[in-house]
Structure 1
């Protein structure tokens, strides 16, 4: 059985005994920051030797991860051009959203969700929040439905970028993540969409790159920036732990896709290889016509990461997480 992610992963995300918690002494915090600085230095050296990282910088891409999605799209034609709706789970720093926006222009909708604050690419609408929170998911689902009801596509020939020349991402006035969490405590059902809205499947592609955020390179003394990093499941070096965490996130992403993805839609998720991925693959095959395992050339050979590319959702197929 694929375990429900909330029990195992949320404890990790919300643990108070993480770096930066008040129970840590100044000496321990200083030692942790020293280790973080050393890790950042090694990451920068590796990036400097990485041809994909250099190419990403030259081409104005947010990160080298863009090439992974570009490779998979070239092979499987994930994006079909103008007008698709794409949801990018774990979008920061935004390279997959960049690719999705480019491949669905000029009238595509790209919606990103991440706990880490990041400047969205031009034309991308983003939510900063914990994807595992039911209230955050409900807000995103309601936004998708609302965007279809209130925001028709621009007329043919009109480039939607013309309306946002002065901003990189779409500026939508919405409550902050902290406001959403506080509001959920006082009225937990208020953020839920109507049953009619929750049953509408309007998304063409769901992308999930949530397993491992990129290295934090600045803002270590700013809690607004540092706390989300401390709460996320970063790669630990422990193969079993990284695999188990990625399976939880993939299961949550698949449940979201089951709720929002239209018939014929596609799903791409990153995972760390291990004993449980065959069960996830079985779940995917029950819901999609074709399922492939991919290890793009731009994925580092030493990394255990891989991707499931699930194509053409079956019309009435759904998936439910095991309790």
Structure 2
């Protein structure tokens, strides 16, 4: 193909618009493009190939190396137990959710929430939405009202009367007794607003949230299974990353105060800075023990750390923690 000047190219487009449009479409096909790797991208690829945690994550079928951070936190602080209800905020790509599902067996339920479309790991449920949105909060709380929703069902139950497996129809009748039809269960928004607050029923709240960059590329990629192809956890500006992480941590804490049972646990990621002392002060008002942790799997040069807050205190509200500073 000849290299045309701008004026000649424009005249060719005007004379043969359809032909030129198809030609340009072939030239800019995403699968045919190969972007030049920047120096930072090459450093990242080199670091990933040599990283022991990344290799081990691939071997064990974990979605990212971040799983080892939560495994270490759980080993040191004993966060999980069988049968717990766990909410994972910012769960994509799902490595923390995988750990939570494994550590809460049998009978546990894990709900992941993320603004990104992401398939949850086997054994978990997911809600796609902006966690900072009031509507998303309503969806999550409505989901949590049903204590059996999202919990694995034992399909090998046997009817004691004849020793035969219970059919799906009988199981549905057992789970939804007569008089509890969907029409009777569903309520209007106005009725929901007048209901008393949600009874705390969550045992553990996890927050590994980071601010996603706008979705401007990678539309053709497998974003449901590889959501991080269009994410960037940090901007490279420490004060900005710290401020954003503090906002997300406070939002996660406020959600925890609404949903965590007395004695429940809370873990959140933050980037170090001047405001993390205030966050720690808020956590100490609501939890019996609060620790700062830097897991071995967290890169040494990274400013990320984790607050591990255990044993939520009884009858502590957002007003008690934040006073008039927080819009509850």
Mapped partners of 2:192, 2:261: distance in 1: 18
Mapped partners of 2:118, 2:250: distance in 1: 24
Mapped partners of 1:57, 1:271: distance in 2: 26
| RMSD between aligned residues | 3.3
Structure-2 residue corresponding to 1:64: 65
How many pairs are equivalent?
Answer: 256
Mapped partners of 2:70, 2:85: distance in 1: 16
Shift of 1:196: 3.8
Structure-2 residue corresponding to 1:269: 268
Mapped partners of 1:110, 1:192: distance in 2: 28
- Using CA pairs under 8 Å that are at least 6 residues apart, name the structure with larger relative contact order, 1 or 2: 1
Structure-1 residue corresponding to 2:238: 239
Residues 1-323 of structure 1: pairs in structure 2 closer than 5 A:
40-80=41-81, 82-146=82-146, 148=147, 154=153, 190=189, 193-196=192-195, 198-211=197-210, 220-222=218-220, 225=223, 234-320=233-319, 322-323=326-327
Query: How big is each residue's C-alpha offset from its partner over 1:243-302, in whole Å with a ceiling of 9 and x where there is no partner?
Result: 000000000000100110000000000000000000000000000000000001110000
Conserved in 1, the CA contact under 8 Å of 2:125 and 2:150? no
Instruction: List gaps (5 residues or longer) in structure 1.
Output: 1-32, 159-188
Mapped partners of 1:266, 1:258: distance in 2: 11
Change (3 A) 1:310 1:58: same
Change (3 A) 1:40 1:255: same
Change (3 A) 1:35 1:111: farther
Q: TM-score, normalised by structure 1?
A: 0.71
Change (3 A) 1:300 1:125: same
Q: Which has the larger radius of gyration?
A: 2
Mapped partners of 1:255, 1:291: distance in 2: 16
Change (3 A) 1:190 1:53: same
Shift of 1:319: 2.2
Q: SS in structure 2 opposite 1:235?
A: coil
Moved over 3 A (4+): 33-42, 149-158, 189-198, 221-226, 228-234
Shift of 1:318: 1.9
Instruction: List gaps (5 residues or longer) in structure 2.
Output: 1-33, 158-187
Q: TM-score, normalised by structure 2?
A: 0.70
Shift of 1:40: 4.6
